[in-house]
Amino acid sequence: MSPAVHAYLRAAAGPGALRAGPFLIRFDTHDDAPPFNYAIPDDTASPTPGEVAALVAAFRERSRMPRLEYVPQAAPGVEAALLAAGFVPEGRYPLLVCPPDEVVAASAPPDVRVRLVSGDAELWQVARVMHEAFDAPEAGEHDVARLRRILTGGGLVAAAVDDASGQVVGGGQLGRPHEGVAEVAGIAVLPTHRRRGLAGAITALLTREGARAGVGRPFLTPADDAAARVYARVGYRQVGEALHISLP
């Protein structure tokens, strides 16, 4: 699964990705937030100090923090070279997968509907919920455009809608598929609606409906143990580890 995840991450970097030696770098020209700016190493990479220096320079030239998100199992020769250059691990996160036919049904509370969305009005609301839930700056047009690109590329966006207010109170996304692989990400629920099963319901919906979008191998990387337990309840299991590492 690890090489397939790397292939997906490279494809998700898009046509504007920059090659720096054995690294492919994804830059977001509108957003300097770390989750949208990172490099993925080639699976066979054993980078030299000069290649790591060139990687750092590419980030510095664009006023971005040098960082990588990758699966160490798929590129075992990379971490030591990064550590030697002063990179510091941000975190090691479990890599979880769940085939769509193994997903466990997870119901939303009766006063909230969880469904796929595609209209601009709902995409705006999903973007705002994601930003509020993750304490990010207010969502802008480029954030909505990012969700539109996911849909255009064959991915999915889900929303949890409160029946009483009609407002979106949760959301998530399944990235653009690449060879049957895609990432479930951005699972967000507003504080007012947490601990009611919505994160699990959103994840289960995206995983199940992903099969219709051609995603037979969805994966995700929970940020903490609490999130991992939510995903485990809907059928996700660990198959590896993801490393986020950066140069402060």
Among 168, 131, 166, 124, CA closest to 147: 124
How many percent of the chain have pLDDT more than 70? 100
Q: What is the model's pLDDT at position 3?
A: 86
What is the mean predicted confidence (pLDDT) over 18-33? 92
What is the mean predicted confidence (pLDDT) over 156-179? 94
| Average pLDDT along the chain | 93
Q: Cα(49)–Cα(217) distance, rounded to whole angstroms?
A: 35
End-to-end CA distance of the chain: 30
Give the pLDDT band of residue 14 (cuts 50, 70, 90): confident
Give the pLDDT band of residue 201 (cuts 50, 70, 90): very high
Q: Cα(40)–Cα(4) distance, rounded to whole angstroms?
A: 13
What is the mean predicted confidence (pLDDT) over 111-140? 91
What is the three-class DSSP state of 239? Answer: strand
| Token duo for residue 91 | 């975190």
pLDDT single digits (tens) 49-99: 999 999 999 999 999 999 999 999 999 999 999 999 999 999 999 999 999
Q: Cα(141)–Cα(117) distance, rounded to whole angstroms?
A: 17
Among 183, 157, 133, 139, CA closest to 31: 139
Residue-wise burial string across 70-100, b where 16 or more C-beta atoms lie within 10 A, e elsewhere: bbbbbbeebbebbeebebeeeeebbbbbbeb
Count the alpha carbons within 13 Å of 40 in the hemisphere toward its beta carbon.
Answer: 25
Among 219, 212, 225, 226, CA closest to 242: 219
pLDDT of residue 1 exceeding 90: no
Give the pLDDT band of residue 203 (cuts 50, 70, 90): very high
Q: What is the model's pLDDT at position 30?
A: 85
pLDDT of residue 218 exceeding 90: yes
Q: Cα(117)–Cα(167) distance, rounded to whole angstroms?
A: 13
Q: What is the model's pLDDT at position 112?
A: 95
Give the pLDDT band of residue 150 (cuts 50, 70, 90): very high
Q: Which residue has the tokens 């919906």?
A: 205
What is the mean predicted confidence (pLDDT) over 102-115? 91
What is the mean predicted confidence (pLDDT) over 95-110? 91
